[in-house]
Amino acid sequence: MTNIREITEVNEVINNDLAVIIAKSKNCSVCKPVSENLENLMKNYPNVLLYSIYIEELEMFSGQFLVFTVPTILIFSGGKELLRESRFINFSNIKRLLDNYSQK
């Protein structure tokens, strides 16, 4: 998982074919296990890019992408948001979307 530190990196990342971004906080007790679960899930999708953002380090991200709670998982393709899961993450939705895209 690559950590993004600049908003320009975010704009490059979301324009990829398929990218997953997890927004988290350094003092969030839920973020670490959710991040670990996401990393484990992403092992099944080696062609999908996975990134993390600490909202304390990149506050502009929160405003630009309307991320007001952590953890938030965002999936983008070609600059468009395909899925957003916040706080109570439903990994089956993420898996279903990634499965659909990997079949294309």
Residue 7 has pLDDT above 80, yes or no: yes
Q: Give me the CATH number covering residue 10.
A: 3.40.30.10
Average the pLDDT over 73-92 and give the result: 95
**Structural domain harbouring 23:** 2-103
Average the pLDDT over 26-46 and give the result: 95
Q: How confident is the model at residue 70, as a pLDDT?
A: 96
State how many domains the chain has: 1
Average the pLDDT over 34-55 and give the result: 95
Long-range CB contacts (within 8 A, 24+) of 43-48: 44/98, 45/98, 45/102, 47/18, 47/102, 48/18, 48/19, 48/20, 48/98, 48/101, 48/102
Average the pLDDT over 75-84 and give the result: 95
Average the pLDDT over 83-95 and give the result: 95
Q: Using pLDDT thresholds of 50, 70 and 90, give the confidence band for residue 104.
A: low
